[in-house]
Each structure stands twice: as structure tokens, then as C-alpha cells.
Amino acid sequence: MNKNKHSVQRSLELYEQADALIPGWTQLISRRADQFAHGVSPIYAQHAKGSKFTDVDGRQYIDWVNAVGAVVLGHADDTVDNAVIEQIRKGSIYTLNSPLELELAEELNATLPSSQMVRYTKAGGEACAVAVRIARGSKGRDLILFSGYHGWTDWYQAANFGVDPESGEYPFAGIEPTGIPNVLAGTAVPFKYGDLQDLERLLNTHSGNVAAIMMEPMRSDLPPKDYLEGVQRLAKAHDVVLIFDEISCGFRLAVGGVQAYLGVTPDMTVLSKSMSNGYPMGAVVGSREVMAPAKHMFISSQYWSDCVGLSASLTTIRELKRRGAQTRFEEIGEQLRTALNGAINNAGLEGECTGVYANPVLSLTLPEGDERKVATLFIQEMAKQGIHCQLSFKATLAHSSEDIERTGEAAARALTKVKEGLENDALDELLEVDLKKEPFRRQVR
């Protein structure tokens, strides 16, 4: 019996209603209740500002998920919202084109090393699909080699007709290619992140058929030394388009992306999430050589260049620069790492806070088989204390030292509960919810 059910009762009622109205409950798998501590964690929010949100039951939480990284300045940032409101008064979309399209393109060109020409979208998944369309059209080839997560569309999910190179199972655990045309089997093939020999083997095996290498350059950890440079050399040697998917990692480690931080420039980059502080927006940028042929391809959609997304993106990128985002994220990340390491030590557990400052991750040394139980228990106990998080933490520029201090104190209490459960073989008794589910396996750590 869930002892804490009353605290999220309205959320649970709405979620039950959603079961009858929305297949899969939500529009984003990462927002499903089973991704947290279902029955204790909030599911629906009614208000968000700065580093916090208020759920439909009236409880306030410090938010370390932040729309899975889409919010970067802070919820409902005044500067961005005021720019959007001003634009809405002028019109949210025109019959004609808006000069903001050109202004944002110039801003992206001045910000990302790979950007010379730009196409827009409204979300990351469709931006990946546009990038693949352009790469295939530019090279006149079909095959995409990929590593990482690149959305829901057919080109990518077709990989699930094959197998993961490491496990021998579906590349995306728990997701079967239902609804994907069988004819697409073999058109997208995964490679092992960090293994240049595996990538080279695939390029040689499929010589002359590969249009692009699509990859997340990193997630929570920096790539192995010289790895991205090696991928770049292989792409050039085999005349394929190198695409960095910086939807999750872009703008946080550096405003110019991982490519600017590490000094490796791809042929194309896919962007979304943090570029617009939560307003729907995405972009594909790349070299003139790769992007120019897109003018002969049918890539067209009404809302890709609506003025709201353009205005939000322009303002967000400029604010990231004006507020010294890279330095500030480093400060916040290191403060949070110190607080979480202190919590681990105070609880008497083995482990540390790993990952880059833009995405610290709680990594504990645990008995095999206890990982999901511990993750769920930690999320459960943090939620009870008004902290919404996973084992990884995505800060915004709105997070304060007080937020970090409260999070560290809550983590110490949550991890003490974890320690108690481990020592007394009582994890099952301490869990008030079903185990957190993993939506799919990611090939980039």
C-alpha cells in the first residue's frame, strides 16, 4: 500500500484519466509516471518559475529534470517570455516569411563552428529526420550509421529490425519496431560508441552505401581522448556526412556546443531543447556544401519558422552568452557535485558524483541486481522532500546555492535510507512504489 499516495492524489487521478484518452498516457516517454517513483513523484504540474515547479496537488519542487534539458535559463524566464509576448503582439506567424529567420540563422552561424546554412523544425526528432534527408540527398546514398538516441521517426526506429552491437538485443530495449515499414530494415545500423575499429569495419563493409554518421558526441561524460577526431577522419576518408546530434548536450557545456568545447567540427549539427528555453524549436545547421543541395529536396512545414520559436531562440542564445553560461554552469555543477559527494559520504555509501559539470550523475557502487531498486528508492525519497530528480541532474542558470544546499541535504537523507535498505536487505520494504522503468537503452553514456 502506498503510504504517500495522498500527496499526489490529483496527479494520480489525471493520469488515470489520461489512460483512457491518450495512448501511452503522455506525449513523451520521459514524462511517463513509471520513469520516476509512480505514486510518490508528481506527474502533472500547474506552474513553473525559475528552478522550481508546483504540481497540481499544490506542492513545490526544486526541478533537476527541467523538461529533460529543454529549460536552460530557468522556467518562465522573464527576458525570453517578454520577447515572446512582444512578438505575439506583432503576430505569431505571417503569411510571408519573417526576417527573424535570417537573424536567427546569422546568430547560429556566429555561435556554432559547423553552421553556415540553417533549416528549422519544431522538435528534435524531426530535426534528426531532416538532417538524415539532407545527408542522403546530398550524397545520393541510403545507409545511416548511428550511435546514440535520435528520436521516434521511421529512419531511426528501423534499426530495431537489427541488433545492438554490444548486447545482441534490440538497439532500443523494450521498443519493438511496430508500425515501421519492413522495407526499411538495414537502412540504419548502430555502431559502438568509443570503438573506432567497429565504425571502420562498418564503413568498409558498406563501402559506397553510407550517407552519414549520425552520433551524439557525448551525454554525461566527455568522449574518450581523440575519439571524435578519429570519427571525423573516418568520415572524411569514406566521404560520408558527419552529423553531431547536440539536442541533449548542446548549449550547456559551451554555448557553441560540444563541438566548440572540444574543437571538433562536424559537417552538420542537429539542435533543439536548450536553444529556446522550452519553446518548441529545432534546427539543422551545417556546411554550405552539405546543406545547399537541400533547396532541391522537398522539406517543408508550416510551423517550422513561426515567429514565437524564432524569437525565443534568438533571445535564449543571446542570454546564454550575456549571462556567461559556460562559467555559471561550471560553478553550479561543481557546487552540486560537492554537495552530492558529501551526501554519499554522510550516508556511508561507496560511490561518487560523476559526469561533466553540465550533467552530474550519481554513481553508486552497489550489489548486482539492486541498481533499479536503489534508483527508485532514491527518487522516491527525494520526491517526498520536494526534490524532483533522476540519478542525473540538469541545472538551469536559475538554480541557486540554496537550491543546491537543500538538494544535498535531501540527498543525504535519501541515501541514508538507501544504506539502511542495503544493510538490512530491506529495499523492497522501503519501496512504496513499483520499480522505475527504463524507456530504452542509450548507447552513449
Q: Of 53, 57, 16, which Cα lies nearest the Cα of 33?
A: 16
Q: For the stretch 336-364, what's the b/e string if a residue is b when 16 or more beta carbons lie within 10 angstroms of its beta carbon?
A: bbebbbebbebbebebbbbbbbbbbbbbb
Q: Nearest-5° angle of CA 404, CA 410, CA 412?
A: 105
Q: Are 99 and 199 members of one domain?
A: yes
pLDDT band at 283 (very low <50, low <70, confident <90, very high): very high
Q: Are 302 and 161 members of one domain?
A: yes
Q: Of 245, 283, 18, which Cα lies nearest the Cα of 127?
A: 283
Q: Of 258, 4, 247, which Cα lies nearest the Cα of 112?
A: 258
Q: Domain range for residue 308?
A: 79-322
Look at residue 438 and tell me whether its pLDDT is greater than 90. Answer: no
Q: Residues 215-265: pLDDT tens digits?
A: 999 988 999 999 999 999 999 999 999 999 999 999 999 999 999 999 999
Question: Would residue 46 count as lying in a domain?
Answer: yes
Q: Which H or E run contains 423?
A: helix 401-423
Q: Tally the domains of the chain.
A: 2
Give the CATH number for residue 345: 3.90.1150.10
Q: Are 221 and 359 members of one domain?
A: no
Question: Would residue 167 count as lying in a domain?
Answer: yes
The percentage of the chain sitting over the pLDDT mark of 90, rounded to a whole number, equals 90
Q: Residues 295-341: pLDDT tens digits?
A: 999 999 999 999 999 999 999 999 999 999 999 999 999 999 999 99
227 and 196 in contact (C-beta within 8 Å)? yes
Question: Would residue 445 count as lying in a domain?
Answer: no
Q: Residues 82-97: pLDDT tens digits?
A: 999 999 999 999 999 9
Question: Would residue 444 count as lying in a domain?
Answer: no
The mean pLDDT of 133-151, rounded to a whole number, is: 96
- pLDDT at site 171: 60
pLDDT band at 166 (very low <50, low <70, confident <90, very high): low
Residue-level length of the chain: 445
157 and 172 in contact (C-beta within 8 Å)? yes
Q: Are 355 and 293 members of one domain?
A: no
61 and 387 in contact (C-beta within 8 Å)? yes
- pLDDT at site 169: 64
Q: Are 318 and 328 members of one domain?
A: no
Q: Are 343 and 303 members of one domain?
A: no
The mean pLDDT of 45-53, rounded to a whole number, is: 98
Quote the radius of gyration of the chain (alpha carbons, Å). 22
Look at residue 445 and tell me whether its pLDDT is greater than 80. Answer: no
Last residue of a domain, one of 290, 322, 354: 322
Q: Are 371 and 253 members of one domain?
A: no
pTM: 0.94
pLDDT band at 164 (very low <50, low <70, confident <90, very high): low
pLDDT band at 174 (very low <50, low <70, confident <90, very high): low
Question: Would residue 436 count as lying in a domain?
Answer: no
Q: Which H or E run contains 419?
A: helix 401-423
Look at residue 441 and tell me whether its pLDDT is greater than 80. Answer: no
Q: Are 328 and 201 members of one domain?
A: no
Q: Are 198 and 257 members of one domain?
A: yes
Supply the DSSP string of 312-336, one letter for each residue: HHHHHHHHHHHTTHHHHHHHHHHHH
Q: Are 271 and 361 members of one domain?
A: no
The percentage of the chain sitting over the pLDDT mark of 70, rounded to a whole number, equals 94
